[in-house]
Amino acid sequence: MDKLRSFVVLAAVALGAGAVEAQEFPEGEKIYQKVCRNCHGPKARGVGSFPKLVGFSAEYLADRLKQYRAGETVGPNSALMKPVSVKLSDEEIQDLAGYVANTFP
Using CA atoms of 65, 70, 76, 77 in order, give the dihedral in degrees to the nearest 10.
60
In the complex, least distance from residue 76 CB atom to ligand HEC, rounded to whole angstroms: 5
Separation CA 16–CA 69 (nearest Å): 33
Q: Which residues are near ligand HEC by CB under 6 A?
A: 31, 35-36, 38-40, 50-51, 53, 61, 64-65, 74-78, 80-81, 84, 96
For residues 6 and 49, which CB has a smaller minimum distance to ligand HEC in the complex? Answer: 49
The alpha carbon of 93 is separated from its chain's Cα centroid by a whole number of angstroms, namely: 6
In the complex, least distance from residue 58 CB atom to ligand HEC, rounded to whole angstroms: 10
